[in-house]
Amino acid sequence: MGLFWKRKSGDQFVSLNLNEPVPEKAIGREAADEADSITRVESSPSPVSSIAAPVLEPVPAGAGPTPVPSETSTPRTPPVPLRQSEATQAEGSRQKPVPSRSPFATSVLGLNLSIEELQAQEAALEQEFSARFRRAVSATRESLSERLDTVFQGLKQIDENLLDELEEALIAADIGVPTTQHILETVRRGVARKQINDLDALKQAIKNELLTILRQSEKQGVASETSIAANVSPYVMMIVGVNGVGKTTTIGKLAQRIKAEGNDVLICAADTFRAAASDQLAIWAERTGVPLIQQKQGTDPAAVLFDSLKASKARGSDVLIVDTAGRLHNKANLMAELEKMKRVAAREVEGAPHETLLVVDAVTGQNGLEQARQFLKVAGVTGIVLTKLDGTAKGGIAVAIAKELSLPIRYAGIGEKVDDLVVFDPELYVNGLFE
């Protein structure tokens, strides 16, 4: 699997230029400089020039070792005899070579590894990531794929009864009624054309439709941080969502994972409405070693954001993650607050906020979809973070959100560890539902 955070500027990478050929003119200049330096050394007077240098004759292949120059030509100090203990230590040092202390014995960049070893490491990471993703959606897979296996047993063809069972299974997985109806229409067309006549063909048709829906959603919103020019800094991410969906945890994990890849990250605690929000963020900031900008409860969130933007620009931060209020009971105030924050961000950094991510709890199912609709109206959401995907049999909510809101799923929480926040991969997700 690739980097978690792919937005890197060119000056953050070191170019060793090992494979670039040296121009012939440069070689000529280097040779001329070297010859000139030798000439200058030979022509300059030296106190040791009167001593004749020993002449070493070339030794033919297979002959004995080159003779040592005579002591008359180059006098040297006679060796001092070693005591027994020193001689023993010297002998041991000759038998046991001292290990290299070179800093390049191991390399963070993998310079000490061959291409084959690097490819093997990458393949192992891909396999581990795939396995973790399959485990995360196992509950959804059991309620969907295995149910189809049970229904299809003993049937020789796909009929309306099977399609009714399929509809129930899809709705139970929280894929949503509109999405389910769309899938059933595709299946019926395939059955009528005799393109779908067994369970494997049926599953493949469903997988293709789900993958198409998820891919189509990436055409709107912000599907990748690389869509913003690398010279725009800091990259501002606003995180929105109701209280209790894992918003604070998501911010902490995002900060940790982005920082782990060499980026400077700053967190802005702009949820001044809830006292516990800043305390929770402070714990995550201390745990991850990421600086936190916060002010006392009741402070204007836009003012906190302004201070955070100034601090980010002063320290040259790559990413600024902004926590926002998690309330929907007063949408008018929330809308005014978010709009003000966006104006402040856009005034300080070009195009900010570059992403507005809505955190949705996968366990809430269709309630999460309704939350997404409301925040889409007031916050201008550009993408979704789907948390607790590993703790529900209703993981199909990802497809419902992508279909009904046309928003890309940016990240998914597949566990409680810091590295269990992963970039959402539509293909791995769909394959995990049916394998």
Q: In the prediction, which pLDDT does 38 show?
A: 45
Contact call for residues 253 and 264 (beta carbons, < 8 A): no
Helix then strand then coil, % of the chain, to nearest 5: 50, 10, 40
pLDDT of residue 8: 63
Q: Which two tokens stand for residue 112?
A: 């000490």
pLDDT of the residue at 43: 46
> Kind of pairing, strands 421-423 and 409-413?
antiparallel
Q: What is the pTM of this model?
A: 0.72
Low-confidence ranges of the chain (pLDDT < 70): 1-2, 8-113, 118-119, 121-127, 129, 154-156, 328-330, 435
User: Which helix (H) or strand (E) covers residue 347, if one does?
Assistant: helix 331-348
- Residue 101: the pLDDT is 38
Mean pLDDT of the chain: 77
Closest alpha carbon to 250 in 416, 36, 10: 416
The pairing of strands 355-361 and 421-423 is unpaired
Q: Looking at residue 336, what is its pLDDT?
A: 86
Beta bridge partners of 421: 413
User: What is the model's pLDDT at position 418?
Assistant: 82
Tokens of 419: 């590295």
Give Cα 72 distance to the centre of its chain.
Answer: 69
